[in-house]
Structure 1
Amino acid sequence: MIAAINAERIKLASTRSPYWCLGVVVVLGLGIAVLLGAIAGGGYGDPGETDSLTGQYLTGVNQFGVAVLAIMAVLGITTEYRFGTIRPTFAAVPRRPRVLIAKVVVFGALTFVVTAIVCLVALVLAQALAGYGIALGGPDTVRQLWGTPVFATLCALIGLAVGALVRHSAGAVAIVLVWMLALERIISVLPRVGEYIVSFLPFLNGWNFLSGGSDTFNWNAYGSLLYFAVFTLALLGVAVAVTNARDA
């Protein structure tokens, strides 16, 4: 298993797409935080709202960056099918579930670490520019600082699962982006049925956790996080089973 993880780490570090994706996440995360902090510092914010504004300062990460990280994970497996490197990978590691588990470990760890660093730096910069002082101890701030990396990691793992199931880069990326950014939001506002379905939409549950919970859902914020995590693990389980059953 260690050898498989090292192999995935080397493959990740030797391709360009992860660097571009991570660069975009850094630019979005820090850029939007700096912009919002500067606006707040211009007299458009309330010093008493420092903790409640944390989610807005991290919009570049928890709204847009997570989509880029999911795309990075999709490409991490679909490009192997595209260029035919998946065959020697499965030949070197005959137990295919180990390959996907190794990818989960590598992409999950990278996503969590990078997101945690970007969130911390973005929040410090935004609060400094806002001129209200740096406060990292509020309940909303603490939840955002550890919750956003967890949410981003789960999004990346869903991207990995979809990539393993679809095996085509363009198709998998389209599915993930439409699902994450549009489909669930549209379903949630459908007349008569939207209010009953919203509690079972995975990405909206993730954002519900980050926002602190809503009466629209059948459970609280941490229930939403648990549901999203269970859904992600279930989808990964399906991806592992399907990959193990079909031809490379």
Structure 2
Amino acid sequence: MTLLAVERIKLFSTRSPWWSLLLALVVTVGFAALTTGSEDDPAWITVPSTQFGYSFGLAVILVMAALTITTEYRFNTIKTTFQAVPSRTSALLAKTIVVALATGVLGLIAAFGSLGIAKVLQPKADLALNSQADWRAVAGVSLVFAIAAVVAIAVGILIRHTAGAVALLLTYALMVEQLVQLIPNVGDDIHKWLPFNVAYKFISGDPDMSGRPVQAGPPPSDATLSPWWALAYFAAFAVVMLTIAIITAKKRDA
């Protein structure tokens, strides 16, 4: 518990995490306001359509999570941490847990904030959470944010440099997975198993697309796993990445 308290103080004693969390919240909710407020027909506003800003908020979360570890390497405070805590595994796990919890809470606030602003802007739209899929589309953002933060920390531990870690995370999450589909013959099959695409399957599920306008929600993931297995897959990917990162950190100089 002491390690968790220390990491919590380290995380929230500087301005950048606060600004990053605020930015993620504003981007996610703001995008929901933009997409729902500009729609003339409230029948086209659905619970999934309120979560259009999820991926933009996720990009901010990836950057913030990576910064929590790369800045320690940049300013050499990681050496002090490892000297104070002989077990590097414990120190890195404590940081990961604190950041994952913080981003998870932020994801929950952002998702329900997006739903709330949509209800304000489109009071006639049917935005009640009537099914498991509706709850997963909103509350599921919290779990995806938290797990994605673990992935970002793992990348930060492996690369150690802020620019490299941020560039890799953003390029991969926002571009690479989509570009993989352009590979002839095998691109679509590979894309079905890429981690962020699979994570989105947990949020989007398997909606009935027959007759549904584009405005009624983001396109569903083409991952073949069921929603809950998709979340388990994404979590397993994060655990593997973090394990590799911790093993690497233990073998090299701080």
TM-score by length of 2: 0.89
Look up the SS of the partner of 1:209 in the other structure. Answer: helix
Matches within 5 A, 1:80-99: 80-99=72-91
The answer as to whether partners of 2:88 and 2:250 remain within 8 angstroms in 1 is: yes
The answer as to whether partners of 1:38 and 1:130 remain within 8 angstroms in 2 is: yes
In the alignment, the residues of structure 1 paired with residue 87 and residue 187 of structure 2 have an alpha-carbon distance, to the nearest angstrom, of 42
Count of aligned pairs: 240
The residue aligned with 1:120 is 112
**What is the aligned-residue identity percentage?**
37
The answer as to whether partners of 1:8 and 1:102 remain within 8 angstroms in 2 is: yes
User: Once the 2 structures are TM-superposed, how far is the Cα of residue 215 of structure 1 from its aligned partner?
Assistant: 8.5
Q: Which sections of structure 1, spanning at least 5 residues, go unmatched?
A: none
Aligned-pair Cα RMSD in Å: 1.6
The answer as to whether partners of 1:67 and 1:155 remain within 8 angstroms in 2 is: no
In the alignment, the residues of structure 1 paired with residue 35 and residue 180 of structure 2 have an alpha-carbon distance, to the nearest angstrom, of 30
The residue aligned with 1:14 is 13
**1:158 has 2:164 as partner:** no
- Greater helix proportion: 1
**1:243 has 2:249 as partner:** yes
TM-score by length of 1: 0.91
The residue aligned with 1:171 is 164
In the alignment, the residues of structure 1 paired with residue 182 and residue 234 of structure 2 have an alpha-carbon distance, to the nearest angstrom, of 20
The residue aligned with 1:222 is 228
Look up the SS of the partner of 1:37 in the other structure. Answer: helix
Q: Which sections of structure 2, spanning at least 5 residues, go unmatched?
A: 207-219
Structure 1 stretches of 4+ with a deviation exceeding 6 A read none
Q: Deviations over 1:149-170 (max 9, x none)?
A: 1111111111100000000000
1:234 to 233, 236, 240: 240
Look up the SS of the partner of 2:38 in the other structure. Answer: helix
**1:77 has 2:69 as partner:** yes
In the alignment, the residues of structure 1 paired with residue 146 and residue 14 of structure 2 have an alpha-carbon distance, to the nearest angstrom, of 20
- Is the deviation greater in 210-219 or in 124-133? 210-219
In the alignment, the residues of structure 1 paired with residue 75 and residue 182 of structure 2 have an alpha-carbon distance, to the nearest angstrom, of 41
